[in-house]
Structures are given as C-alpha cells and as structure tokens.
Amino acid sequence: MSLGGVRIPLLIAAVLSSLVLASSTRAVPAFPGAEGFGANAKGARASSSPTIYHVTNLNDSGTGSLRDAVSVPGRVVVFDVGGLIRVGSPIVFASNLTLAGQTAPGGGITLYGNRVSFSGASNTICRYLRFRMGINGDDGADAVGIANGSDMIFDHVSASWGRDETFSISGDTAIRITLQDCLIAQGLRIHSAGGLMQTSGGVSIFRTLYADNWMRNPKIKGVNDYINNVVYNWGGGGGYIPAGDSVGDSYANMIGCYFIGGPESGAGTSPFKTGNANYRLFHTGNLQDLDLDGVLDGVAVTDSSFSTLQLVGSRFAYPAPTTELSAPAALAWVLERAGASHRRDRTDDYVVAEARTYGTGGVFIYDEADMGGVGTVATGLKQPDADNDGMPDWWEQAAGTNPALADATVLGADGYLNIERYLNALVVGGVPGAFITGITHDTGSSTADGITSDRTLLIRGTAPAVCVCPPMSTCLRCSRDMRSCRRHRRRFPRHSGCRWRTP
C-alpha cells in the first residue's frame, strides 16, 4: 500500500487506515471545534449514567476536591471555585471524564506542585486547565503523562515546569489523542524538555506553543500530525526532533508552523535535529526566523533541513483541522489564544510576552522561583444555580431548561448532554469559520442592511416568524387571495409589505 507517496507494510497501513476512519467518523465531536485524532472523545457521555461533580474547594483531597472529583469515571467536573490547587502527590485521572476548567470563576484553575497522569483515562475531554509541576514534584517525572488509553482531547491546556518531560505521550497503546490550542513551556533544567510524542496510535498537535524548553518541542515518533504550531527559544537539545536515531517507523505531517529562535537558541541555530530514513515526513508552509533581531522576518523551511529523513510528496491523510492557517496567521492565533487563555495567569502571560519579542527575550529556568513562583489565582464566586446541576440559572432560563430541576445529564437530539451545551457556549473550540464583528440594525426594508436579515442566525430571544406571503397577497399554499384564505392566513403573519387585512 502507498500512503503519502511511500510504500508501507500492509499491517502498518491497516493500522493507519483504522485510525483515520475512527477519527473521521465524528457524528458527535467532543465539542464543536474538536479536531484531530482525539476529536471523538466522549468524556462523561461514554458512561451509561453520567453524573455532575462540583469542585467546591481548593483542597488536595477530600469531598469537593479535584482529586476526589477525578477518581471515579463518568463525571462532568465543574468548578464552583477558582484558584490554586497545591498538589502534594500525583493525581491519577479516571476514564470517561469531562473536565470543564472553563466553568471556574475568578482566574480559573491551576494545579501546582506535582505531576498528573492520564494513563488509561480513555474518553477524556480536558479543557482550560493549567498543570504546573514545579521543582518539588516527583524527581524524573513528567508534569503531564500518558502511557496508554484512547480517545482523549486536551483543549486550551497549559503545562509547565516538568522535571523530566512537560507533556508526554509515550506508548503504542496510547491511541487517538489531540492537543489543540495548548501551551507547553519552561521545562525545568537540567532536563528541560517539552515532551515525547511517541506512539503509532495517532497524535494530533494543532495551534500549540512550545517555548523555553531546551529540547523536545516535541520529539516525535510514530503517527503524528503537527500543524500550525509555534516553537520559541529552543536550546541545544533541539526544537522539533524527528525520532532521533530510532529504528521504528514514523509517518508525520508538519504544516504551517513557525520556528523562532531566542537567546538560548543562538543565532542561526536550526530548530531541527536529524533523524533517519525511518522517519517519513511531509512538510509545507513552515517558516523559521533564526536571526534573533526582534523583527519577525521568517524564511521558508526547505528540504535541506531534513537531509537524513525520507521526505514524501503528499501529506498523510490524517484528520486535519477544519481551518488551516498560514504560518504567520498561526503565530498570531497562538500568541493570542494558546493555553488556558479564557483567563491567562502570570506564567502564561510571561511566556507569551517573551515569544512576542521575536528573538530578544527568553530564558531557561531551573526552578519556578527564578520567575517569582506560581503567583496567585483569584477564586471568584459561584453563579446562582438553584438546582445545583452545574448549569447556572441565567443559562437555564435562556436555554429553556428548568432551573428548578436537575436536568443537566439529559441527552439531547444533537448528541450532547444539556450541560455540555452550556460548557460549549462558554468558550470557542477550534478556529471558527466566521466571526461576528458587530451587529447592525435591520430595518426590514432590505436583505442587505443588517445581519439579522439572515434568519438562520439568532442572537438571543425568540426568532421572529417569517412572513412568506408575496407582495400581492397570494397564499403560497393554496394560491388563493390571502384575504379569503382562512385556513392558512394565521400561519403567515403580516409584515410591512402585506397588502391584506384580517377579516
């Protein structure tokens, strides 16, 4: 079989085909805008009886804590409090969880002090959380690690201060996983690594910022789709590392990414470490800016950067982003939105500010104290929720559900739980196909004088009934004069152009 212009063994071809098929059959994505291999993660929906769990405090354990929340499968985890959770021992996440960090009030949620594991946590939907390990975490451990499990998506997640890797997926039983719009930064020296992405199970990395990691931004083996990412200020260990000297086979796309050297990189230092011919790479539309002059003036990445790899002429047919950006557009997007950007904390702000210097700012750290520590995160207040089902009263009133009845886990015709519609409305997933930049009053006199002339778009309230009677008052259903059409006239209310009167 041939894939991407390369002949590959039949067994590997079958595995790749199954990955693509499983990820492209996405009747109900994890959330609108979920993309890549992990797009179909079900979260708590994978459970026959999903439940809602409220994180009500910032304790490391006990009732109402995050640790307790994630210890049992089948939960939608919402946050009644924002702030800093100090993690003493590793937290292991169960399967079938929907982790809704976007529900946290105040400054959102930061986990700080030790590592977390999603190994075996199949059907994970994790959004808008920050994982910051730190110098006192387990020695030689990853800030976020996955060794096995399937169908996971991490959206707008921030990870930093890993003592080994910062966010790693390592093991061929880790299958169909997406990182999108994430921020992976400041792996602690001496190791200081962004992470390993080494599985034949399929990993998508879209619109993610890697910054201030000495190496592995990331190091890739196996099946990987690396699109619209930004790498800033890598060190001597390398930026994007294509499998090193691995004897295993790898099949990777690298499309529309921007590589910008920083003070730790050294002027003119390539972001790419060499691999061997077992690494099949399709690359296009990537830019690199290596002069450290503070001016964004990247040049094209060419084949000469990958002289030891096996380059292929067409992209591997993996489940791609709905909207692919140019490298400059990807850079602008990532700097504005990557990580837990619903409310960025001081650490993410610091990293993004460094990247915006385009080569003049950036430093590796040995200890989070080098940059003033984790800082504080505002707690905020829970919104009124009379039935305590995770959907605030204002939302239930607007959505038409009952604020006095706990109906959050009712499954709708669209395939989402009631509470998921609320969660999905709080933040945007992926790159929207269109943006509302303003609303103009629609007088009704023209189909072009305002956005509300498009009746498929409802901003709020009840959509107006559509008058379909023609200017000369002929009923469209029975062709009678509208004045005499008693059967149908009530279905077609008058507008300013109607010429008939109610008898």
Residues designated catalytic: 216
Among 113, 243, 263, 135, CA closest to 188: 135
Q: Provide the residue type at 337 as one letter.
A: R
- As a whole number of angstroms, the distance between CA 72 and CA 98 comes to 12
Specify the DSSP class assigned to residue 480.
Answer: S
Apex 174 CA angle, 200 and 311, nearest 5: 25
Pick from 438, 439, 436, 399: which is nearest to 417 by CA? 399
Return the SS3 of 17.
helix
For residue 354, CA distances in Å to 261, 289, 347, 464, 478 come to: 11, 15, 11, 50, 69
**CB-based contacts of 88: which residues, under 8 Å, 6+ apart?**
60, 113, 114
Q: Is the peptide bond before 392 cis (omega within 30 degrees of 0)?
A: no
Beta carbons within 8 Å of 130's beta carbon, 6+ residues apart? 108, 109, 110, 111, 157, 158, 159, 160, 339, 340, 345, 347, 348
- Report strand pairing: 299-300 vs 287-289: antiparallel
Q: Compute and round to an integer the Cα radius of gyration of the chain.
A: 26
**Number of alpha carbons in the 13 Å side-chain half-sphere of residue 357:** 18
